Amino acid sequence: MDDSRIPSSTVDRALVAHAALMTLLGLLSGFTPALAKAPRAALSAHTIGVLQGALLFGLAAVWPSLGSGRVVTAARYCALVGLYANWLGAQLAAFWSASAMFIVHRASMPGGAAPWMEGVVAVLLNLSALIVVMCVPPPRTSRLPCPRDA
């Protein structure tokens, strides 16, 4: 068979691997509410992991169309760091009952998290802002045409 006729893959395989890992982490998080100090927060970590896995599958499908370059590479790292930090922060908050960053579940979470635990969770959940940074389009490098140049 002539391999030159087979179209090249239009999916970013590395992002597919990250998507599968994130989905697996999210699915495994579904077993942690029984072990966590804050079961509702553990359920949130489960939901976060599964949804972020789906997001990564979608990104893997469209990422090759973005091209390459420093901005695209930076956006990729922002996405991966932000998504993993978001899941890990939610999971640790559930295990430690670190409630400072959990506005919705704070009232139902038992106390007892040490200040350093609250700090770790706060850093991880604030890193999830990188997901928003990934979505910001880069500035245009070409200048707009001037009417007198036409």
Can you give the residue ranges of every domain in the chain? 11-135
The C-alpha atoms of residue 137 and residue 69 are separated, in whole angstroms, by 13
Q: In this structure, what token pair is assigned to residue 76?
A: 């990729």
Residue 125 binned pLDDT confidence (cut-offs 50, 70, 90):
confident
Task: Give yes or no for a contact between 52 and 86, defined as CB atoms under 8 angstroms apart.
Answer: yes
**Per-residue pLDDT for 128 more than 60?**
yes
pLDDT at 68 over 90: no
Give residue 8's pLDDT: 54
- CA angle at 130 for the pair 99 and 140, rounded to the nearest 5°: 155
Place of tokens 């029984």: 34
- pLDDT computed for residue 78 by the predictor: 92
Give this prediction's pTM.
Answer: 0.80
